[in-house]
Amino acid sequence: MFIGHMAPAFAARAITSEAPKLGTLFIAAQLVDIAFFLFVLGGIEHLRMVPGITAMNPLDLYDMPYTHSLVGTAAWAFGFALLVAILLRNAVAATWAALVVLSHWVLDWISHRPDMTITPAGEKIGLGLWNYPVAAIVVELAIFGLAFWWWLRRTKGPSLPPVILAVVMLAMQAYNWFGPEPQSADPAFLLLGLFAFALMIGLAYWVGSTRWHRDEVGLGVASPPL
């Protein structure tokens, strides 16, 4: 998944104003992928391109024990939650941050071929939704759309920033699905992925700064769009 990973970030912010800022939740949602891309650049974990390995993309994610095992993801979730707790001094915010990090493993387990593990050296598992393109597209758009709509309904502020965020995210997702297939897992591919993550996170911080949760009270806050 790509933008589908952001659905738990939108949902957490929709549920409570005590959740971290939207940009921070976007970091949580993609933290293990950011770490994975950096680890691949550093030679710690590995991927390669194998055309036809799944119906939707050629990614052979054959070595990612520290980021995409459930134990590894839980460690990243704990570390990120600890950082949020220290910076915000809010255990509720830290808990939501951890849950969003953990959601990444669950969504990847649904999407990936068997390349996920429970422990770093465990048996590889994965439900393989990527082998069913129509279903994968419907599921990703559905969870993203529903979470985005819920977040809009639970927050208030100007309409344009969320529209810009959604358009950019959908454009990047469309390129991911229908653009040219990557030929190699070279540094250019990895840096492009990191740039995409950074762009979404930056936009999320900006958009989040323009909206308030309905639980918050303040003057001069615009009503949410219908």
The mean per-residue pLDDT over the stretch 47-55 comes to 96
Half-sphere exposure of 199 (CA within 13 A, CB side): 17
CB 64, CB 47: distance < 8 Å? yes
220, part of any domain = no
Q: Which residue has the higher pLDDT, 221 or 88?
A: 88
> Is pLDDT of 224 > 90?
no
- The model's confidence at residue 222, banded by pLDDT at 50, 70 and 90, is very low
- The model's confidence at residue 25, banded by pLDDT at 50, 70 and 90, is very high
pLDDT of the residue at 225:
36
pLDDT of the residue at 216:
76
- The model's confidence at residue 226, banded by pLDDT at 50, 70 and 90, is very low
CB 67, CB 35: distance < 8 Å? yes
**pLDDT, tens digit, for every residue of 160-185?**
999 999 999 999 999 999 999 999 99
Alpha-carbon distances, residue 18 vs 97, 151, 184, 222, 223 (angstroms): 11, 14, 42, 20, 20
49, part of any domain = yes
- The model's confidence at residue 215, banded by pLDDT at 50, 70 and 90, is confident
Range of the domain at 98: 3-213
Q: Can you give the C-alpha Rg of the chain in angstroms?
A: 18
**pLDDT, tens digit, for every residue of 143-166?**
999 999 999 999 999 999 999 999
132, part of any domain = yes
Burial group, residue 138, by CB count within 10 angstroms (0-12, 13-18, 19+): exposed
The mean per-residue pLDDT over the stretch 74-98 comes to 97
- The model's confidence at residue 218, banded by pLDDT at 50, 70 and 90, is low
Per-residue DSSP letters for 78-105?
Answer: HHHHHHHHHHH--HHHHHHHHHHHHHHH
CB 99, CB 80: distance < 8 Å? no
pLDDT of the residue at 217:
61
96, part of any domain = yes
The mean per-residue pLDDT over the stretch 115-138 comes to 97
State the DSSP H helix or E strand holding residue 60, giving kind and residue range, or none if neither.
strand 59-63
Residue 2 token pair:
């790509």
CA distance 132 to 130: 5
219, part of any domain = no
- The whole-model pTM stands at 0.93
Residue 213: phi and psi, rounded to 5, are -70, 150
Alpha-carbon distances, residue 205 vs 11, 18, 27, 103, 162 (angstroms): 16, 16, 10, 20, 11
223, part of any domain = no
Q: What is the total count of domains within the chain? A: 1
218, part of any domain = no
CA distance 140 to 89: 34
226, part of any domain = no
- The model's confidence at residue 223, banded by pLDDT at 50, 70 and 90, is very low
